[in-house]
Amino acid sequence: MNLKCTYNIPTLPFDFDVETKEILKQLSKSRGALAELKGFARIIPNEEILISTLTLQEAKESSAVENIVTTHDELYKADLNVKDYYSANYTNTNF
């Protein structure tokens, strides 16, 4: 298999200004959104719940690319079954 490189990675520093008004405005909005998310995460009893749902959603989207259709319910049930299996069969396992 012969793969042809079609993208050239630019050298740093860039030849153009990356600190434009538009980018700095968006940076400010993004920083505020992340701060808000961090605040919400602190009130969740188990912050890992937030992270684990992101990995499950990514798995669902990646399966969709392969024409495998899965519902959120199926994903969460499968995740619980895996955790139940490991907690029943292995000791000192953290999930």
Q: How confident is the model over 23-74, as pLDDT tens digits?
A: 999 999 999 999 998 888 788 888 777 777 777 778 777 777 777 777 777 7
> Is residue 15 included in any domain, yes or no?
no
* CA distances to 30, 72, 94, 95 from 80, in Å: 33, 12, 13, 10
Number of H helices, E strands in the chain: 3, 0
In a domain, 28, yes or no: no
Look at residue 3 and tell me whether its pLDDT is greater than 80. no
Write out the residue range of the structural domain in which residue 68 sits.
48-95
Residue 20 has pLDDT above 90, yes or no: yes
What pTM was computed for the model? 0.41
How far apart CA 6 and CA 4 sit, in angstroms, is 6
Structural domain tally of the chain?
A: 1
Residue 7: inside a domain, yes or no? no
Specify the 3-state DSSP secondary structure of 24: helix
Asked whether the predicted pLDDT for residue 93 surpasses 60, the reply is: no
